[in-house]
């Protein structure tokens, strides 16, 4: 599982830049996939499978101490799971990810690779060069893959897109390289914003991708008022924040669509109720393991 747009995924205030992360080593795990999903729900920015279990990462902005984090994890993971927590310097976190992040194909045409790995390009490949640092969006997580799959399936050529909680910028970059006219991405996390800017420059799509450190309520005044496609790969709790879905709906063109993920399969029913409350219907649905993604359009 990968670092999150946590993945932002988003909140109502901008988080301060941090110099360390909580590293959590878990052992004696019975159900690996269910544990990854639970960690994500509790705010993990990503996890790596190890020989003895999982190593997960959490933001100090979300958990101020080891004791607070342990108190949150222990009851949900159960008595059989061992939990070891330590602070990890940001540079060490990045080094760990470099060892585990290799080029991978997502869908038919997207190839996600870090800048330090070589890849022999094939015809029709679309290369996304992503250095994740401390942000969500390496292409390894199911939700990122689901949204990339939708970007690949739908005609984004000449469309104007909004990327909500952009993390590494992977979705915005993918859309730009799929011939979108313009993509506007934002995040509330300083590290994510800076990382997205770097990746956008690295992929040479700065002319078509603009970013901001802001919230859905305070987008830059020079940005478009309405968008053809809205991308949001964030936590379910963010979608449920007061006014959030209303804001998304207002920013979508009448004939536009939203592509949403970051949602667990067990949350499907409550999310469909939320969509219905905002006059949105599910026009397409996909699932991958514990995770789901939706294409939404306005109900006529």
Tens-digit pLDDT profile for residues 237-294: 899 999 999 999 999 999 999 999 999 898 999 999 999 999 999 999 999 988 999 9
For 91, 202, 254, 261, 279, the CA distances from 274, given in Å and listed in that order, are: 40, 38, 19, 14, 9
pTM, two decimals, is: 0.76
Same domain, 91 and 169: no
Q: What is the domain range of residue 223?
A: 135-298
Same domain, 48 and 156: no
Q: Which pairs from 270-278 meet CB under 8 Å and 24+ separation?
A: 270/236, 271/236, 271/239, 274/239, 274/240, 274/245, 275/245, 277/245, 278/245, 278/246, 278/249
Q: Is residue 122 part of a domain?
A: no
Range of lowest pLDDT (84-98, 161-175, 282-296): 84-98
Same domain, 53 and 139: no
Distance separating the N- and C-terminal Cα atoms of the chain: 38
Same domain, 153 and 278: yes
CATH number (domain holding residue 38): 3.30.70
Does residue 52 or residue 17 have the better pLDDT? 52
Same domain, 166 and 49: no
In percent, the amount of the chain with pLDDT more than 90 equals 59
Q: Report the distance separating Cα 63 and Cα 80, nearest Å.
A: 23
pLDDT of residue 94: 64
pLDDT digits (tens, 9 = 90+) for 196-205: 999 999 999 9
Same domain, 155 and 87: no
- pLDDT band of 133, cuts 50, 70, 90: low
Same domain, 35 and 150: no
Pairing relationship of beta strands 227-233 and 160-164 according to DSSP bridges: parallel
Same domain, 156 and 231: yes
Per the structure, the count of domains in the chain is 2
Same domain, 171 and 272: yes
CATH number (domain holding residue 270): 3.40.50.150
Q: Is residue 126 part of a domain?
A: no
């Amino acid at each position: 599982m990968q670092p999150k747009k946590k993945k932002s995924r988003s909140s109502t205030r901008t988080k301060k830049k941090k110099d360390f992360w909580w590293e959590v080593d878990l052992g004696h795990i019975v159900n690996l996939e269910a544990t990854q999903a639970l960690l994500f729900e509790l705010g993990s920015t990503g996890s790596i499978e190890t020989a003895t279990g999982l190593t997960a990462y959490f933001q100090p902005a979300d958990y101020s101490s080891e004791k607070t984090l342990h108190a949150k994890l222990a009851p949900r993971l159960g008595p059989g799971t061992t939990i070891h927590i330590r602070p990890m310097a940001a540079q060490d976190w990045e080094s760990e990810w470099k060892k585990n992040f290799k080029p991978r194909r997502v869908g038919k045409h997207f190839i996600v690779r870090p800048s330090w790995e070589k890849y022999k390009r094939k015809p029709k490949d679309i290369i996304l060069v992503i250095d994740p640092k401390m942000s969500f969006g390496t292409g390894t997580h199911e939700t990122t893959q689901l949204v990339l799959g939708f970007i690949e399936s739908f005609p984004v050529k000449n469309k104007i897109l909004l990327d909500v909680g952009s993390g590494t910028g992977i979705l915005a970059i993918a859309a730009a390289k799929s011939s979108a006219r313009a993509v506007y991405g934002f995040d509330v996390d300083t590290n994510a914003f800076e990382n997205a800017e770097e990746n956008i420059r690295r992929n040479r799509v700065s002319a078509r991708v603009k970013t901001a450190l802001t919230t859905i309520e305070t987008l830059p005044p020079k940005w478009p008022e309405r968008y053809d496609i809205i991308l949001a790969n964030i936590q379910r709790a963010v979608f449920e924040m007061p006014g959030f879905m209303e804001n998304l709906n207002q920013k979508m063109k009448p004939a536009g669509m939203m592509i949403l993920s970051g949602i667990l399969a067990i949350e499907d029913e409550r999310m469909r109720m939320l969509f219905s409350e905002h006059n949105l219907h599910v026009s397409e649905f996909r699932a991958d393991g514990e995770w789901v993604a939706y294409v939404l359009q306005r109900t006529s």
